[in-house]
Each structure stands twice: as C-alpha cells, then as structure tokens.
Amino acid sequence: METVNQLLADYNVVDLGIRLLGAILIFIIGRWIARRIVSVIGKTMRKRGIDDLLITFISNILGVILLLVVVLISVGHLGIEVTPLIAILGGAAIAVGLALQSSLSNFASGIMLVSFRPFTRGNFVEAGGVSGVVQSVGIFHTQLQTPDNRLVIVGNSAITGSPITNYSAYETRRIDLIIGVHYDDDLKLARDTIMGVLTAHENVLEDPEPVIMLMELGDSSVDFAVRPWVRAEHFWPTRSDLLEQLKVALEKAGCSIPFPQRDVHFYNESSESPATTSAEEKAA
C-alpha cells in the first residue's frame, strides 16, 4: 500500500495514466512476442526431429516463464520496485510448493518422462494402471485414450512410480497361443495343420519364423504352444483370426479340441470287494 501511495505522490494523474497505458501495451506486445518465441522454438525443434511430447512440454514451461517476465517488466514500467515483488513471489512459491507437494512430484515426473521418453505420442501403453494410446504429456499429467474411446488423465508420478509397458515400442509382436488336441489325435497331423493355418495368413511374418512346440501333456489335452510373429498394429485382429481358423482347420482335419475331463471312481462300500465304475465329468 505504501508503494502505491508513493507512486501516486511521485506522479500526477496524467503521468500515471501514460505509464499505465505503456504497461498495458508492454504486456500485450510482450505476450505476443513470447508466443512467437515459443512458436519459433517449437517449429525449430520439429525440424530437427525432436519428439512431439518433448516439444509440447518445453513449450508449456517456456510460455509460463516468458509470460512471468513480461508481467514483471510491465509492473516495473509503472515505477513499482520489482525486487521486493520477486522476493514476495519467491516466498509465495515456496509456500505453494509445500502445500502442493504432489503437484511438484507430478512436475518432476513429467520432466523424467520427456527426458527418458519411455513412450511417445501415439504409442499404446499400460502405465499408471491404465491402458491406452498416449495423447499428450503435460506438466502435471498424461492423457491416455482407452480402446473404448475414453480419455483418462493420469498423474505423471503415478506413471513413473509403476511399471510401464509400451506395446508399440517395437514394430513386431509375438502372438502366444495354447492349442490343445485330444490324446488320440495324430500329433504330426495336428502340427502340420496348425502350421498350414499360420503360413496361409497374410499378417503372419515369415521372419521371425512361426514356432510350434509341444508345450505340455495336460490333464485333458496335448497342448501346443503356437507362436507366430506379426506387425504390432495387426496383433489383435490376427490373434482373433487365428483362433477361429485354427479351430475350423483342426476339426476339418479330424482333430478335436477336447473339453477338460475328469475320471471319477465310485466305490460300493456294502460289497466285500468294491466295484469300480467310471464316468466322465465334462466341464465347459
């Protein structure tokens, strides 16, 4: 208040009006210049192939800093001492920082995300307990678009504090299927039938070559591990196609995909020599 009174005493109304008008012009022009600087820096970084997430993050921080500088210059043009104001802002920043520790943690985590870049925009990831396509990484949070078209906003600290699975990090992915056939089926015929389905599918890659291994002699079936490779964007459609085509092809070849079975033995306790009968209990 004393600063304002001193200002009114030092300048008459006309001078104060001129200074106020000048401060407003400085703010308007300075804000425009700040935006232009941020835009030019963003375009320069894009030309150099820097990741979009890093460009957005740096642009946001730079925009806030430049705007604060413009405000201080505008206030200084009015004749108000800027140094005490900076000290006040610094003290306020410390108080706000203590009150918003979680936000500062999100901010620090945001810097880590754009620095180490475990993912980029457009990647399908599982992070912070959410699966979705990365839309943006902000100063405090990351936006993910889920497969059912929901926008989920996750705090950056939740992402860096948990495992991050990037399903789009590599161009190819392996599909892991377990296909069981009956114990009475011809295993060579089953293997050849499965391989025929894999090689015939247009999305299954020749390199790496599909792998079919006898995985386990299960309780009710002989299980094959079927592992073809596809491009990452073809993973889910191809997996669905293969499951359907493998079932049809195996049944057509005379093989069967059995239900889980269990042998149950009944004992007649009233008889001196227990009689044993067996029944099959089928579980869907």
pLDDT tens-digit map of 243-283: 999 999 999 999 887 877 666 777 776 655 444 444 444 44
Please tell me the predicted confidence (pLDDT) of residue 99: 46
Number of domains in the chain: 3
DSSP per-residue letters across 59-108: HHHHHHHHHHHHHHHHHHHTT--HHHHHHHHHHHHHHHHHHTHHHHHHHH
Q: Is residue 142 part of a domain?
A: yes
Among 1-5, 172-176, 238-242, where is mean pLDDT lowest? 1-5
CB of 151 closer than 8 Å to CB of 138:
no
CB of 69 closer than 8 Å to CB of 86:
no
236: containing domain: 172-252
Give the Cα-Cα-Cα angle 206, 208, 213 (nearest 5 degrees). 100
Six token digits for residue 235: 């993973």
Q: Is residue 267 part of a domain?
A: no
| pLDDT reading at 91 higher than 80 | no
If you average pLDDT over residues 164-181, what whole number do you get? 92
Q: Is residue 269 part of a domain?
A: no
Q: Is residue 261 part of a domain?
A: no
Which CATH number fits the domain that encloses residue 130? 2.30.30.60
β-pair partners for 263:
280
| pLDDT reading at 19 higher than 90 | no
Percent of the residues in the chain that have a pLDDT greater than 90, as a whole number: 35
Do 142 and 183 lie in one domain? The reply is no
**Per-residue CA distances from 263 to 10, 199, 219, 220, 248 (Å):** 102, 38, 10, 10, 28
CB of 180 closer than 8 Å to CB of 221:
yes
Do 60 and 126 lie in one domain? The reply is no
